[in-house]
Each structure stands twice: as C-alpha cells, then as structure tokens.
Structure 1
Amino acid sequence: MRLTDPRPALPAASPSAPRPVRAVATLLLALLAGFAAVAATVATGPAAAAQDVTWTVRTASNAFGSARTGYTYGVDPGATVQDALVVANHGDETLELAVYAADGYTTPAGQLDLLTPDRGSSAVGAWLATAVDTVTVEPGASVEVPFTLTVPADATPGDYAGGVVTSLAQADAAEGITVDRRLGIRVDLRVGGELRPALAVEDVHVSYDGTANPAGAGGAAVTYTVRNTGNQVLSADQTVAVTGPFGRLRVQAPEVARAPELLPGERWTVTVPVPDVLPSVRLTADVAVSPVVVDASGSTATLAPVRATATTWAVPWLTFGLVVLLAAVAVVVPRVVRARRRAGAAREAERTQRAVEQALRERELSANA
C-alpha cells in the first residue's frame, strides 16, 4: 500500500490561543525545490502572508533516498529508525525554530492534519524524538536535524501517520496577537504484522423532501458514516441508491466521490443527495462501500463491498388526499342517489295514493247523488 500522501501540503492543527486576545488561522504553503513537504502556517488574528515564512524543510539525503516526498517506514515492533530533517533559512535574519513530532488525523475536509503539542500524541508523535527541541539557522544556511523513531515492542501492527514539524512563534504588537508559523513533513509508518483491511458503514439515515405535484418526484438525502475498523489505511468507492417497495422504482445517486484515506479507527460522514425519487410510501436507501487498498507502488485493489440500509416514509399526501376524496365520492354519491330515488319513489307512491283516495271519494259522492 502507498503510505506517502500525493498531496503536496499538510497543515498542522492550530494550538489553543493564549489570553487575553488570541485567535488562530491556518495558511497552507507549497514547499519549494520540488519537495512535497508538509506545509502549514498558523496565525492568531489575520492570516499571515505566505512570504512571511522564510524557511523550508525537506528530507535528508541518506540511505533512504535523496529525493523523497516524505518519510515512509515499514518496521517491526521494537525496531528503531534514524533519519533527519533539513531546515533551510532563505531569509535575511537568523531563525530559532521549535522542532517536534505529532500524530496525524483526517480532517472533515478529507486532508491530513497534525495534533498540536497541547493535545498530546500517542503514536508517531510519541515514538519519534528529534535530537534537539529547537534549531538555530543562520541566513542562507541549512541545518540537519536528526531524529529517531522507536516503535514499542507491543505496538499494534498496521498503519500510522504523523509529521515532523518546525515552528516559529512571534508576537505581533500592532495586531495584539501571536503568530505561530509551522512547516513540517509527513511521516507514514507501517508496523509489521498481520494486516486486516476492513470498513464498516454505520448510522445510515434517509430523509425525503416531497413535491406538491401529485405526478412529480422529490429528492432524498442519504447520510451515513464510514469507519475504518481494520488496521490499514483505506479509502472507499461509494454507491447509493433509493428504492420503493419490493425494490421497484430504483433511483441511483449521481457518482459519489471516493472517500479520503482513513487511518485505522477514523470515521468519515457522508451526505448523498438522490434526486427524482417518487413518493412511493416507503423508501429504502441502499449504501454500498467498497474498501480501496493502495500499495507502495501506487496500485489499487478494491475489496468486497460493505452494505447497509435505512428506510423512511414518503407518503404522497396530495395524491393520497385525492384518492381518499375520490373513494369518498365513490361511496357517498351512490348512497345519495339511492336515497334520493327512494325519497322520490316514496313521494310518488304517496301522490298516487292520494289520487286514488280522491277518485274513490268522488265516485262515492256520485253514487249517493
């Protein structure tokens, strides 16, 4: 599986702002010289300009390679790796930078971010130790910062991600803020052992927004969470469909974007709109998520899909009302007609009876005369 991130930039998460007046904003920077290093600028108050960052970071040239886009290691539990970060000062002033490691995580936007030191790391950020906590770099100079990655003997097999970060915190008296600019490089680690790629689809919900047109269709929305339940970094192909009773009137959602790469244990929540769904009383949403494994060469393999469903009511109330009205008319009108016929027949019988009685009386009077 490919453990390096094809994206050229990785922001480090911003720390909590000190009092009394501090806010945090992030500015991504693309690294120079063709190095796909992780870049992040975190500023309290207004976002800092990209040109304010006067240094770059890159991987050291050694036995691991001379033009790496990041740090990628595959080691067994208990192993130790030694490597280095190169920091170059392109500005006119001496820089004193903090250097540290941090765990990575996937943001709601689908990109890798880094924990801040105050949040504490438990994997890469805890296992990687830099030779120094701060580094001084003169203008136009470069400094190599060695670091050691020591994997605990009881580390769980699987994939981990983090980063090595350089940080420059400066007070801005004019703005009354503190600016913390950071640049770093991603670290991808695979601890040897059995790999168990697996995803789960959880918390599936479907909603329906009907239409006033009795012959028209409405829109459905399907929301669900993809969770990486295995120990390997995975993305996922996704398909969503909505059907009526007995699997009829199936509507496939437009193409759903592939889920981002999720670290073991991470979740990704998705909402997929499904247009042109007929209100067929009871709707069923069918979600299929196929895990995608990427190897070190960049080749992908798709595993068997994982499915989940959810249902909701989609009653065509206007149509239902019209049907009820027609049914009522079909029942009531014949009864009214029959009642009117009976009333008319009764009136006709009464009229005939009165006519007969009148004729008899007249006949009787004629006979007596």
Structure 2
Amino acid sequence: MYAPVKRRKTTVTALLRTAALALLATSAVAGLATGPALAADGDVAWTVRTASNSFGAARSSFSYSANPGSRVEDAMVVANRGPVPLNLAVYAADGFTNAGGQLDLLAKDGKSVAVGAWVHAASGSVTIQPGKTAQVPFAVSVPDNATPGDYVGGIVTSLTQANDAANINVDRRLGIRIKLRVGGELKPSLAVEDLHVDYAGTSNPFAKGDATVSYKIHNTGNAALSAQQTASVSGPFGLLRVRAGDIAAPPELLPGESRTMTVPVHGVAPALRLAATVTLTPLLTDVSGSTTSLKPVEATAHGWALPWMLVLLLVVLIAIMVAVILYRRRSRLQRKTREDARVRNAVEQALRDQESPKS
C-alpha cells in the first residue's frame, strides 16, 4: 500500500519531480496480502481490491501468464469509505525492488517500458460517491515482440490534495501488484558477483577473529527469483571451515536486478589464506504461487588472514636474533683485533730486545 506522500509546492518543476520520486520510493505496493488495501487520512478513505471473475475471487494481486501478442482483460474494485466524493487518478507503472527490499512502483511521470506501458485502464480517472464502489476495467496488451520472462508492475489509484497552510501537496497512492509471465523459454539464473572476504583479528595473536563475506546477488535470467543462501570461510585445503549463521533470504529480485549482501562469520582462525564460499539456491515461484528450488550456484574467493600481533612478535624476535648475532660478530672481531695488536707488539718488542747492544 502506498502511504501519503507530501510534496512541497514550488515553481521549479525539476525539483518537484525529484522530491516526489525520492518520497515515493519509500512506499510499498498494495495488494500483497489477501483482502482490500486501505488508504485513510481524516475524511479521505478508500480501498482497492481485485474484482471477482473468471480469474478467481479474493485474489491478493493480479497474476497472469500470456503469450506475446495476446490481450488479458480484468478489473479493480475501488470503494469510497469516506463521507465525501472522491475523484481518483488511475494509471499503471513498472515495478522495481527498492533499497528496503520491498516492491515499489515508478512515479506517475516515470518512464514505464513493460507492465506500466502494456496495462491500460478504461479511464484515466474514476469518481466515487461516499459509501459507493466502482469497478475499474483494464486490459493487458502484450506486444508481439515482448521477450519471454517475468514482468512486475501495478495499477494505481492516486489522490493529490493541496494543503495551503503547510504549503505542500499530499499525494496518496493505493495500488495492486500485477505480475505477468510472458510465454516462451524461461531462463531463471542467479549469479554471485564481486565476492570478497575481509578478516579482523584480535589483540591475542593466538585467538580467533571475525571474517566478513560480501557479495552481490545478480538476477541474470528472465524470471523473478528469490534464494536460499549459505556462506562459509575456511583455511588452506578446506581446513578449519566455519559456517555463517542463518542468512535471511534476499527479497525477490526481478530480471536484471541485483542486491549486495554482507555476512559476518565469527570464530575464524587466522590461517594466513582464507577461502570464502557462497552457495545460492534459486527459488522460482510460478503464477499459481508454487515455489521450486533450482540447481545451486556456488562461488569462492580468497583473502588474507594474517595474525598481525603474532607477525609483530616474530618480527621483534627476528630483530633481536639479528642484533645478538651482529653483537657477537662484532665482539669476536674486536677480540681478534686486540689479540693481533698484542701479538704484533710482542713481536716488535722481542725484535728490539735482540737488536739492543749487550752491556
């Protein structure tokens, strides 16, 4: 459901558009749970839900399988729960996964190229009297050249009201998700990219430390996918392996989307050279809601895990040993020099004694 969005009035259109997009990115798409979604603020309140027809009743969202060139017709039901008439704008928009891991929709002035461009409501607005409902028909026209795969968007009702006292425009959006699977060869695929491991030791040179495994999950296929994931860190030859704790599943990624993960691994021995291994098990959900596990994807990267305190101790020890060796060598050289001087002096004295005339 889209929360109220407040936009500052301004004569600068570009600034207004930028602010609107930034604020709308914090909203989520309505219709993810069973039952109608509600937008309410003071005297303004309305709900949206899917129509009951051959596609089913009490659907949580719109979901279709269609071939290129085909057309699907459906409807959304809007109910006015407030005491005043409502005039709502109606439009469709492409979906995307926002930074919070939730499905969001492009703003009305955003450029949609898939669901938002293929879904057309019977009217761009709907007027509903207090306590009444209205059915908003729409059609999904899949282009002949549409590529196979999953597409996600939504159909939205929107109400913009001016608040002169606060000098703002309040834009309330309420919509329902549309998931479309275009027929053809489905190629679900996830990749692990930019995998690397960092190590942080402790002041105790013999204690274990913590590793941080970071990577990007990239949906390189044409199907929306989530995943189960595991991560582990080991020393050379797979020894001293430590597994990360439970890792939360990433949000469902649409084709082409990616998400960066950072996973801590505790109790890792400073084994000089570490190997971080990440395994993803892609999860594919069909239009009926059934989930299938696909072939796991695995990637490995290496990093250094030097026990710096131990290295420092070794450096100090080696420096002491070198200093001792040099001192002993210098002492031996000094003793030899003194002994050579003593012998030389003794020889010279003996020669002088022989050359002296006897009394």
Assess same fold via TM > 0.5: yes
Residue aligned with 2:101, SS: coil
1:168 aligns with 2:159: yes
* Equivalent AA in structure 2 for residue 312 of structure 1: G
Mapping 1:350-365, distance limit 5 Å: none
Cα pair distance change 1:179/1:121, threshold 3 Å:
same
> What is the deviation of 1:209?
2.7
Deviation at 1:326, TM superposition (A): 1.7
Aligned to 1:158: 149
Name 2:73's counterpart in structure 1.
82
1:174-217 Cα distance to aligned partner (Å, 9 max, x none): 21100001111111111111111111111223223332221223
Q: Deviations over 1:24-73 (max 9, x none)?
A: 546869979x844566x7xxxxxxx7556400011111111121111111
Tell me the distance in 1 between the aligned counterparts of 2:43 and 2:252. 32
> Which residue of structure 2 lines up, in the alignment, with residue 3 of structure 1?
none
User: How far has the Cα of 1:14 moved from its partner?
Assistant: 6.5
Shift of 1:252: 1.6
Identity over the aligned pairs, expressed in percent?
Answer: 52
CA contact (8 A) 1:13 1:114 kept: no
Distance 2:273 2:220 in 1: 31
TM-score (norm 2): 0.84
Aligned with 1:109: secondary structure? Answer: coil
Q: Which runs of 5+ in 2 are unaligned?
A: 350-357
Corresponding residue for 1:232?
223
Name the residue aligned to 1:139.
Answer: 130
Q: C-alpha distance in 1, partners of 2:274/2:348?
A: 70
Deviates more, 1:51-60 or 1:256-265: 51-60
Q: CA deviation at 1:140?
A: 0.5
Pairwise CA RMSD: 3.4
Q: Does 2:221 match 1:222? A: no
Whole-angstrom distance in 1 between the partners of 2:262 and 2:8 = 32
Gaps (5+ residues) in structure 1?
Answer: 1-9, 42-48, 359-367
Residues 1:320 and 2:311 aligned together: yes
Q: How far, CA to CA, are the matches of 1:163 and 1:15 in structure 2?
A: 21
Q: 1:117 aligns with which of 108, 132, 148?
A: 108
CA displacement, residues 260-318 of structure 1 (integer Å, 9 cap, x when unaligned): 11111111111112222233333332222121122345443222222223333333222
Moved more, 181-190 or 333-342: 333-342
Deviation at 1:18, TM superposition (A): 5.2
Aligned equivalents of 2:69, 2:173: Cα separation in 1: 30
Give the match for residue 184 of structure 1: 175
Equivalenced residues, count: 349
**TM-score of the superposition, structure 1-length normalised?**
0.81
| 2-structure distance, mates of 1:142, 1:336 | 98
SS at match of 2:250: strand
